[in-house]
């Protein structure tokens, strides 16, 4: 499946309302603190879902363990549609390999409702850094193996695995410096205590516009629509490089088909709302609504794609 085809899926016919659903407030679990891109997705969708579904929709932040805490709460909740999870690439596709002993499997213990959106990351360096192209980082790292460092918002984050992918594909050795979230990473990157980082465009673009950061590339296979002027890492000399970050709306395993259909229809309607699309683009986020089947196939492909990168990197949980 080509991931970009999800952007053009047709709107599905409205399903018949599931009998008695929803009968009480719906909660969307977020495995990270308020303010990050995952939280932005959830809080932007919640009031619109509430209007469509006729019950309060609340966002509940359960940060910790790279999203595992929120994911486990979702897995152990009743499969009645009243508990949802805003899952991420980390919690759904990376952590099963990174941790190795999770008490659940996201692919079998959760039900995919829809992909929600892409979280564009960028490869950024401090403004006074001499690096101006991806190749400059690679050249410096080859000249001084093990001396350059790259930061991320945490072990198992999209920024972490993108950095490890760069090491593997370029044949370089750099040191990973994990932080507890993008908010903690950014001051260190701005101060030059971190040589470079794959971090969210949401956080990096305003700093670049203010002259405090320099953005070198996006890790995606293609240029990103909300920052089209930024070249890809592949254009910088590493064909095939792709470190796309994303979020997906999930529910516990065993969700009845009528409820799944109703939730998918509501979520897709919300994610195709023109006002929300424009609002998210202003935050450098790209919406990607689709069917449960498309989302399931996507999650499986991402899990399989990142497993060898994580194993080869030797990364371990915090």
Are both 155 and 255 inside the same structural domain? no
Are both 193 and 260 inside the same structural domain? no
What predicted TM-score, i.e. pTM, was given to this entire model? 0.88
Are both 171 and 32 inside the same structural domain? no
Are both 96 and 107 inside the same structural domain? yes
Choose the final residue of a domain: 177, 197, 217: 217
Give 173-206 pLDDT, tens digit per residue.
Answer: 999 999 888 888 999 999 999 999 999 998 899 9
Only one residue has tokens 């919300």, namely 270
Distance set, CA 177 to CA 19, 156, 159, 188, 302 (Å): 50, 12, 11, 10, 24
Residue 233 lies in a domain: no
User: For residue 22, is the peptide bond before it cis, meaning its omega torsion is within 30 degrees of 0?
Assistant: yes
Give 99-117 pLDDT, tens digit per residue.
Answer: 988 899 999 999 999 999 9
Are both 172 and 140 inside the same structural domain? yes
* pLDDT given at position 12: 40
Residue 161 lies in a domain: yes
Q: Which residues, in sequence order, are bridge partners of residue 127?
A: none
Report how many domains make up the chain.
2
Q: Where residue 203 sits, what CATH number does that domain have?
A: 3.40.190.10
For the chain, list residues with pLDDT below 50.
1-16
For 107, the token pair is 């692919």
How far is the C-alpha of 253 from the C-alpha of 75, rounded, in Å? Answer: 7
Contact assessment for residue 123 and residue 219, using Cβ atoms and an 8 Å cutoff: yes
* pLDDT given at position 267: 98
* pLDDT given at position 313: 83
Are both 99 and 139 inside the same structural domain? no
Are both 109 and 144 inside the same structural domain? no
Are both 106 and 153 inside the same structural domain? no
Residue 223 lies in a domain: no
* pLDDT given at position 100: 80
Least Cα distance to 295 among 105, 79, 89, 77 occurs for 89
Q: Where residue 19 sits, what CATH number does that domain have?
A: 3.40.190.150
Query: How many other CB atoms are there within 10 angstroms of residue 52's CB atom?
Result: 15
Distance set, CA 183 to CA 50, 56, 265 (Å): 30, 30, 34
Residue 268: which domain range? 3-119+245-313
Q: Inter-axis angle of helices 37-53 and 257-271, to 10 degrees? A: 110
Are both 65 and 107 inside the same structural domain? yes
Residue 229 lies in a domain: no
């Amino acid at each position: 499946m080509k991931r970009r085809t999800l952007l053009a899926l047709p709107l599905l016919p409205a399903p018949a309302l599931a009998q008695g659903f929803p009968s009480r407030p719906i909660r969307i679990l977020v495995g990270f603190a308020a303010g990050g891109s995952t939280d932005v997705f959830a809080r932007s969708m919640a009031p619109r879902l509430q209007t469509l579904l006729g019950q309060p929709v609340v966002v509940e932040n359960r940060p910790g363990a790279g999203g595992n805490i929120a994911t486990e709460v979702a897995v152990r909740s009743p499969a009645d549609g009243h508990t949802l999870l805003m899952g991420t690439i980390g919690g759904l596709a990376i952590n099963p390999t990174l941790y190795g002993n999770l008490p659940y499997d996201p692919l079998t213990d959760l039900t995919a409702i829809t992909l929600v959106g892409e979280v564009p990351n960028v490869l950024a360096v401090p403004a006074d850094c001499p690096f101006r192209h991806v190749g400059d980082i690679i050249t410096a790292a080859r000249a001084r193996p093990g001396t350059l460092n790259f930061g991320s918002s945490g072990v198992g984050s999209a920024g972490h695995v993108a950095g490890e992918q760069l090491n593997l594909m370029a044949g370089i050795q750099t040191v990973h410096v994990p932080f507890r979230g993008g908010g903690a990473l950014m001051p260190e990157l701005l101060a030059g205590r971190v040589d470079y980082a794959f971090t969210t465009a949401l956080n990096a673009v305003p700093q670049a516009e203010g002259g405090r950061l320099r953005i070198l590339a996006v890790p995606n296979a293609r240029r990103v629509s909300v920052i089209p002027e930024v070249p890809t890492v592949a254009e910088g000399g590493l064909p095939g490089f792709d470190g796309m970050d994303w979020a997906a709306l999930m529910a516990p395993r065993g969700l009845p088909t009528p409820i799944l259909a109703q939730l998918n229809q509501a979520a897709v309607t919300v994610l195709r709302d023109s006002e929300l699309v424009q609002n998210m683009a202003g935050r450098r986020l790209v919406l990607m609504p689709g069917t449960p089947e498309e989302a399931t196939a996507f999650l499986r492909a991402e899990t399989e794609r990142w497993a060898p990168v994580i194993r080869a990197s030797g990364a371990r949980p915090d």
